[in-house]
Amino acid sequence: MANEPREQWGTRLGFVLAAAGSAVGLGNIWRFPYVTGVEGGAAFLIIYIVCIVFIGYPMMVTEISMGRNTLRNPVGAFKALAPNTPWWLIGGLGVLTGFVILSYYSVIAGWSLSYIFKAAAGFPEGIDAADAMFGEHITGLGGPIGYHFVFMVLTAGIIAAGVVKGIQRVVKILMPLLAILLLLVVFRAVTLPGAGEGLAFMFAPDFSAVTPQTFLAAIGQAFFTLSLGMGAIITYGSYLSKKDEVPNSAVQIIGADTAIAVLAGIAIFPAVFALGFEPGAGPGLVFVTLPAVFAEMPAGTLFGFLFFVLLSIAALTSAISLLEVVVAYFVDEKGWPRKQAALVLGAVIFVVGIPPILGYSVWAEAGTFAGDLLDTYDFIADSVMLPFGGALTAFFAGHVWGIKNVSDEANEGAGNLRIGNWIAPFLKYVIPAGVLIVMLFGIYGVVTG
């Protein structure tokens, strides 16, 4: 079974949609608007876009190239590029990171699934009622575990079906659907009376709101939202043909991800301002503030329903890329059949996701300096494993595999847009050093609380 021929995306569009599907997720629609709200709106947006261009683009090109060059999962890719060295451990860290992120990502995605039904039934009016509804949902057992289970079954089912028949088939339907739903919700938001204030918040920069923390938030968000630093893009790149363009694909994936994040902001802030709510509500923005907004807005039941359908779709196309990293490792390196890997690993990840759910009820006293159990999982994955993996990957590409090899691979099959030498200082110095510094500050900040 281990010798099944490696699959390839049917078309370059298939690859771009799958990678954009990986990138566009809870990070864009749940996380990006609330971080923008907390970190001061447009000023954050500008810093974030600089990070996307100078960190996101070189890393995206590098990871796609590593995958396409080696035709391997992250561990196999590092082994192939630096045989008989310990560098493969970076790939191992990536596989582990995918495992950890998916376990709690699926829990949050489960909340989103349950909100589809809550929205259809009509959200209660007032922020206190919305807050109580959210509290009641997450402190339950059957509900959150059930939806987490359903979401993992969907994810594992798609991965079991394969790269082309599973992932590619699903993203070709879901990604256009997601764009249409988002545009509908945006249209509703910007046509509310008083929406202009929300748009001003997003697009008129107030630099007095910028602190060192703003830069940390922007870099972390750039890695998370583009699925970089843990081998998801290496894995997806390993199914890309040599004939396909890498630099151009990277621009399209990043462009789609950024457009969706900005559109999500445009869908959320005008509505929040128009109805007199607070933009800086934090992680509860989507699950508490928005339901209260939908409860008051004309046709809010319909738009609330559409919003949580689109949030769940975005989460699903990201979750499959997280599971694919783990599955590709067991298929390539351990010779497991794909179906068995998807089901066994999906089941294990489901179980690992249960403690964060219990952390809101029977294990309420469990927690760490990073917060409750879900916060702790998120902190370990997002603030430690992801930046560490990203910095090491950049260092590896810049100093071990080498800039020439990165650009030769990236430029093979490329059209007009080719990768230039400007990426060299970023891969060699700026990203490894900058991201490590950010990570250390971030950890220090949380530990000293």
Q: Which positions lie near ligand PFF, rule CB under 6 A?
A: 22-23, 25-28, 98, 101, 224-225, 227, 230, 232, 318, 321-322
Q: Which residue, 25 or 434, has its beta carbon nearer to ligand PFF?
A: 25
Shortest distance in whole angstroms from residue 408 CB to ligand PFF: 26
Residue 116's CB: how many other CB atoms inside 10 A? 18
Exposed (0-12), middle (13-18) or buried (19+): which is 245, by Cβ within 10 Å? buried
Amino acid found at 172:
K
Q: What are phi and psi of 371, to 5 degrees?
A: 120, -150
Q: Assign residue 240 a region (left: φ > 0; alpha: ψ between -120 and 50; beta: otherwise).
A: beta
Would you say 107 or 275 has its CB closer to ligand PFF? 107
Nearer to ligand PFF, 186 or 232 (CB): 232
Closest separation between CB of residue 59 and ligand PFF, Å?
12
133 vs 435 by CB, closer to ligand PFF: 435
**The 3-state secondary structure of 364-404, one letter per residue:** CCCCECCECHHHHHHHHHHHHHHHHHHHHHHHHHHHHHHHH
Beta carbon of residue 327, minimum distance to ligand PFF (angstroms, whole number): 13
Minimum CB separation of residue 371 from ligand PFF in Å reads 19
Whole-number Å distance between alpha carbons of 262 and 280: 16
Q: How far is the CB of 252 from ligand PFF (least distance, A)?
A: 15
**Six token digits for residue 170:** 């699903």
Contact at 8 Å (CB) between 20 and 257? yes
User: What distance in Å separates the CA atoms of residue 240 and residue 245, rounded to the nearest whole number?
Assistant: 9
CB closer to ligand PFF, 318 vs 393: 318
427 three-class SS = helix
Closer to ligand PFF by CB, 235 or 411: give it. 235
Q: Which is nearer to ligand PFF, 76 or 98 (CB)?
A: 98
Instruction: Report, in Å, the least distance between residue 39 CB and ligand PFF.
Output: 17
Rg for the chain, CA atoms, rounded: 21
Query: Closest approach of Cβ 27 to ligand PFF, in Å?
Result: 2
CB 256 within 8 A of CB 23: yes
Tell the residue number behind the tokens 């607070």, with chain if given: 278
DSSP state of 6: P
10 in the Ramachandran plot: left (φ > 0), alpha (ψ -120 to 50) or beta? alpha
State which residue, 224 or 239, has the beta carbon closest to ligand PFF. 224
| Residue number closest to ligand PFF, CB atom | 27
Alpha-carbon separation of residue 88 from 38, 171, 318, 433 (angstroms): 38, 30, 24, 20
Q: How far is the CB of 217 from ligand PFF (least distance, A)?
A: 14
417 Cβ neighbours under 8 A, 6+ residues apart: 245, 247, 248, 251
Question: What's the rounded Cα separation, in Å, for the pair 124 and 343?
Answer: 38
Pick between residue 9 and residue 123 the one whose CB is nearest to ligand PFF: 9
Q: What is the closest distance, in whole angstroms, from the C-beta atom of residue 242 to ligand PFF in the complex?
A: 24
Smaller CB separation from ligand PFF, 130 or 228: 228
Least gap, CB of 356 to ligand PFF (angstroms): 16
Tell the smallest beta-carbon distance from residue 272 to ligand PFF (Å): 21
Task: Give which of 380, 370, 371, 198 is closest to 280, Cα–Cα.
Answer: 198
Which CB, 297 or 326, lies closer to ligand PFF? Answer: 326
